[in-house]
Structure 1
Amino acid sequence: MPPVFRFAPSPNGFLHLGHAYSALLNFERARETGGRLLLRIEDIDATRCRPEYETAIDEDLGWLGIAWERPVRRQSEHLSDYRAALDKLSALGLVYPAFESRAEIARLVAAREAGGPWPRDPDGAPLYPGEAKALTAGERTRLIASGVPYALRLDMAAACRRVAGLTWNELGGGPDGECGTVPARPEAWGDVILARKETPTSYHLSVVVDDALQGVGEVVRGQDLFHATSVHRLLQVLLGLPEPAYRHHGLIRDEAGRKLSKSSQATGLRELRAGGASPEGIRRLVGIRSSFSGG
């Protein structure tokens, strides 16, 4: 079977140079291995994702000379797949509803930090400080029935007790040069959100389900997701999903050294195209040669 690769943007803005770099790396990797390249549209955020951005993704990738298999998988069309995975985790007793708003969580963190530093995840966000796990089944049922918004969180401590010696195979490199067999530390993320009342899945849950269902054998993505791989490996084991290899690549940054964002028009592909850039010029700009480089 030929290896499967995927590029999975969210249609919540226009693509920039960082997206072009990742898409081209996936395309070149598929080409050099005789593999297949898939395009996946991660559109679970209905408030920010728009059809015009998906159209622009198609146009920009085509302009770059990237070809992919069709049909394209849109996450919004496969919510039942994520619901089934969530139900499996719930049946294991690993999911619980938490009812605090973001503002309430911020107040809880501030109160705890009055006594010293509160732990934060690898992205710098404070770990969930609430006590929703202590609610009784009756209290949870009453709150849900009353219409209170909630997030479904993974009981990380309970999940980690089920899995020992968790690692992943890193073919690229982490921010500190990690490569080869990398130990996974999902506990560093605390009780991550798996879904919300209004959104039936999260990035962490949907990405592992999608990669498994699409047969992705090598995940090529940016180093900003390196540490999140710990959570993904945990979910893969809990759900009985296959383990892909991972190839995390360096990020394209702006002049201040910051990771590019979709609000940065200076690096937007549409703006660069309008300014006369060519596909080969974009390749040179991001340092892509005709064969794969993990750069």
Structure 2
Amino acid sequence: MSRWKELPAELDPRVRQLVVRLRLLKDRGELSVRQLATKTGYSAKSWERYLGGRSLAPPDAVEAMARITGDDPTRLLALREVAAEAWLEGRASERAEVPDGGPGQEAAPPELEILLSGAEAPPLPGRALRIAVVAGSAALLLAVSSAVLVTLRLGGGDSPAAAPVVVPVTTAPTVSTPAYDCLARRSGGRWYAGNSRTMDATVAYGSAGPEVAEAQCLLRRAGISPGGIDGMFGPLTRGAVLDFQKRAGLVADGVVGPHTWKALRR
């Protein structure tokens, strides 16, 4: 078992959970960072950052870790998606801090990390390639707009009353989180909260949607708080599920499946 350094205290719990899971898989596979680099295509330095909580491991690296250690890639990628949301939230409030970078640089989204790492990175996955294309297009548009603005100002130099040219900026629409209500009603001997009538859907850490909101409402009805009713299966919801399963005499695995649905709807 490796003797790991303590993770940064300010690391978000959602990111911490992913890093701890990656560390456990590395130990279970008895892999060194050099072996990880050879088997995954990501450099040893990159893996040191990922396992130290200083950078967020890209999806391809997470999937490769699951593959070589025999873990379930679906669940590991779900953990990574939840961690990515937390990582982006943290970077939004700390734009000036870039892990392993110089002062004053703007933080880059984790998906762009492999683009910034040069020769260390494996071939770009589709998502990263799309980000690179969009970033390049935006830079080109900005350069063209600036050139047009300068040309128009110079062209109006003969007239002191020449009006300045304003280049409009179009912002992307804001994506809002769906709102869910808890309208608990009893029907056919079972409780329903108005978001889903499922009895067999499996929802776990990293899941999202109306089934998660339904489980959150039923947990709240049972007197256990899952946090907000937001349809996101995060740490608070998982903790609430574990508490409910223990109380109901079920296997406490933090996953809402047929047996847990049945108990929640009683």
Compare relative contact order (CA 8 Å, sep 6+) and give the higher one, 1 or 2: 1
Alignment TM-score > 0.5, same fold: no
- Relative to its length, the structure with more strand (as a share) is 1
- Relative to its length, the structure with more helix (as a share) is 2
User: TM-score w.r.t. structure 1 length?
Assistant: 0.20
Structure with greater Cα Rg:
2
